[in-house]
Structure 1
Amino acid sequence: MTFLPVRFDQALVAHGPTPEYPGRMHRFGQMVGSWAAKGSRLDEETGEWVERDFVWMVEFILDGRAVQDIEVIANSANPSGFETVATTVRVYDPFAGAWRVSYFAPKMGEYCHLIATPYRHGVRQEGTRTDGCPIRWNFTAITPDSYKWEGWVSADEGATWQLIEHNEATRIRT
């Protein structure tokens, strides 16, 4: 076996989209960079909205065939001063002609799997969350320097939808 002197981050992070289908990679590739986000999330048990600030960092991965993001919050209890609370991997599947999306937030116990498609000058991601309820995540109003994102859940198999999260962000790094 040959040992390759490569670091994990070097092997994972790509410098840009794959040349095989760069147009398809634009759907999420346009989000590559770092974003200062303000959000609000509904506590479904209490009905209260909780405000939060976070940094959303997005990079091409897997030789440019996927995009991964991480959600980072300030945490003075950590020696680093921050905590990575969630990650999403979005992989373009050329055989299905769709984006496969997997979200992981272990501390909150959230693990969601979705399929992304174009939606009103943005992107809609539809799937299920950990408890099996249908979810919709919509990126809207995407510009080179900002975006809006909404998370919806349905308790009745998609007959009605409830907004449970809203984020707005501005780009801080390309």
Structure 2
Amino acid sequence: MTSMPTRFDEALIAHGPTPEYPGRMHLFGQMVGSWTAKGSRLDETTNEWIARDFIWMVEFVLDGRAVQDVEIVASTTHPSGCETVATALRVYDPFAGAWRVSYFAPALGEYCQLVATPYRHGVRQEGTRTDGRPIRWNFTAITPDSYKWEGWVSADEGATWQLISHNEATRIR
């Protein structure tokens, strides 16, 4: 009998994708690693774009059946000098043939549920924002060393879409 892990990270983080469906795991598995990202987010109350830099770390979790990420920003108020501001858990659902995505950003009050599928040469995630409006998050231009990401929201049930966030990232690990 092998010994059970005693640390949370040992129990959560997997060494790679599940062997059950490794091809399907590639959709988000290709993002596993660490990335430095530059982006901007629209402040919908002032209609001003706010620049932001962050580190995005991605790992296989749950015995390789899911991919989880964390978003980290520099912080002058946090003792460590950085703050983890968001996480997303992307779990492949073999019965639906799609990924179920749960996103959490407690300090911003954002909690989103989405479904992700391959889209053109990237990934489309569609779902609902905390305020009930439809959202679309697209990964595009994915290469082994870079990607682009856009966040869209609709105020009219998907008839039209407004860009509210854009990131471009470069792999650092």
**Is TM-score (shorter-chain normalized) higher than 0.5?**
yes
Structural mapping, 1:145-156, within 5 Å: 145-156=145-156
Shift of 1:90: 0.1
**Does the residue aligned with 1:51 lie in a helix, a strand or coil?**
strand
1:172 and 2:167 are equivalent in the alignment:
no
CA distance in 2, matches of 1:65, 1:7: 19
Q: Aligned letter for 1:83?
A: E
TM-score by length of 2: 0.97
Q: What's the counterpart of residue 86 of structure 2?
A: 86
Q: What's the counterpart of residue 66 of structure 2?
A: 66
Shift of 1:116: 0.3
**Does the residue aligned with 1:107 lie in a helix, a strand or coil?**
helix
Q: What's the counterpart of residue 111 of structure 1?
A: 111
**Does the residue aligned with 2:79 lie in a helix, a strand or coil?**
coil
Shift of 1:76: 2.2
Q: How many aligned positions are there?
A: 171
Structural mapping, 1:50-61, within 5 Å: 50-61=50-61
Shift of 1:77: 1.6
**What stretches of structure 1 of length at least 5 have no aligned partner?**
none
Over the matched positions of the two proteins, sequence identity in percent amounts to 83
CA 1:157/1:5 → structure 2, altered by over 3 Å: closer, same or farther? closer
Q: Aligned letter for 1:18?
A: T
CA distance in 2, matches of 1:150, 1:97: 23
Moved more, 75-84 or 121-130: 75-84
Summarize deviations over 1:107-164 as a string: whole Å, max 9, x none.
Answer: 0000000000111100000000000000000000000000000000000000000000
Q: What's the counterpart of residue 39 of structure 1?
A: 39
Q: Is the 8 A contact 2:34 2:57 kept in 1?
A: yes
CA distance in 2, matches of 1:61, 1:29: 11
CA distance in 2, matches of 1:105, 1:26: 25
Q: What's the counterpart of residue 123 of structure 1?
A: 123
TM-score by length of 1: 0.97
